[in-house]
Amino acid sequence: MNDATTSVQAVRTEDVWKIYPQEPKPVEAVRGLDLEVDTGDFVAMAGPSGSGKTTVLNLLGGLTRPTRGRIWIGGQDTTAMSGRELARLRLEHIGFVFQAYNLLPVLTALENAEFTLLLRGMEPEERHRRVRHLFAEMGLEGLEDRRPGKLSGGQQQRVAVARAVVGEPALVLADEPTANLDSATSAALLDIMDHLNQEHGVTFVFSTHDPRVMERARRLIRLVDGRIENDERKNGSRGTP
């Protein structure tokens, strides 16, 4: 793929392997992953436990390094990046949503949501303006000063989504974001993410077991034993690699 095509892609991987050295036999968590995710895509990765979904998200997010192969995020080759460069990439181009919400317990909802903007050095007025705007869109108004312990699971996950998207990243990686939510809260959260995808062009890549998420995704990738078994779009299958 040339640079021109890379530039429109949020994610591209080339023969990515992740092998964990383990006795008696190394574990091949990801085996030869070739993946392209376009900017503005809404992708769900499904598969049984141990199929490598979380490892793929960790690889895409630069939280772990591939044993071999190459990864581009927003056109930047992350494989050769230093730890500091990867941290900067995560800060400026990637948002994360985790299954267990993972808000920072010592910060309020507003402080959690604006944390990455603060790290980027954005002025307080602009940070607050952005976060309040998002909170209004996501039904979190009035909860700005609450600490995570005083929020429901659904509210915490919405704050986590706000934190992931507030910096307008090229890519949001969400690891089973609805796993701990009831169906009504899950549906509401999916509406929000769908809205952010449609209206703001945010690229989402989910890992999920949840059929409702798979149904809402515009592209569904099935992983089995660290390989892509199936990759289909709503408007037609892209085929099986």
Partner 1 sequence: MRVQALFTLSARSVGRNMRRSILTAAAMALGLALLMFSRALADGGHEQWIESAVRLGTGHVAIQAPGYLETGRLEHRLDAGAVDRIEEVLASHGPELPVEAWAPRLTVNGLASSAASALPIRIEGVDPAGERTFSTLVDQLAEGRYLEPGDRLQAFVGTELARRLQLEPGDRMVITAQTAAGEVEGQLVRIAGTFHTGIQEMDEGLIHIPLATARSWLGAPGDLTTVAVLLDSSFDTEAAVAALARSLDGDRGIRVLGWRQASPEMDSAVRIDDYGDYIFHIILFAIIALAILNSVLMAVLGRRREFGILQALGLTGGETGLVVFGEGLFLTFASGLVGMGVGFALTWIFFRDGLDFSGFMENGMTASGGIIDPVIIPVFRFGQVVLSLASILIIGTLASLYPAYRASQLDVAEAMKFEQ
Judged by the rule CB under 8 A, the positions of this chain that interact with partner 1 are: 55, 58, 61, 63-64, 83-84, 87-88, 90-92, 96, 98, 100, 102, 104-107, 115-116, 118-119, 121, 163
The structure tokens 């915490």 sit at: 156
State which residue, 8 or 104, has the beta carbon closest to partner 1. 104
State which residue, 127 or 216, has the beta carbon closest to partner 1. 127
Q: How far is the CB of 97 from partner 1 (least distance, A)?
A: 10
Contacts 24+ apart (CB under 8 A), 74-77: 74/10, 74/170, 74/171, 75/3, 75/6, 75/7, 75/9
State which residue, 55 or 197, has the beta carbon closest to partner 1. 55
State which residue, 8 or 100, has the beta carbon closest to partner 1. 100
**Pair 148, 27: CB distance under 8 Å:** no
Contacts with 220 (C-beta within 8 Å, 6 or more apart), sequence order: 43, 44, 46, 214, 230, 231, 232
Q: How far is the CB of 90 from partner 1 (least distance, A)?
A: 5
Q: How far is the CB of 105 from partner 1 (least distance, A)?
A: 6
Taking Cα atoms as reference points, which of 93, 103, 175, 95 lies closest to residue 140? Answer: 103
State which residue, 159 or 220, has the beta carbon closest to partner 1. 159
State which residue, 27 or 87, has the beta carbon closest to partner 1. 87
The full DSSP string for 155-199 is: HHHHHHHHHHHTT--SEEEEESTTTTS-HHHHHHHHHHHHHHHHH
Q: How far is the CB of 175 from partner 1 (least distance, A)?
A: 8
Q: How far is the CB of 159 from partner 1 (least distance, A)?
A: 13
Q: How far is the CB of 94 from partner 1 (least distance, A)?
A: 8
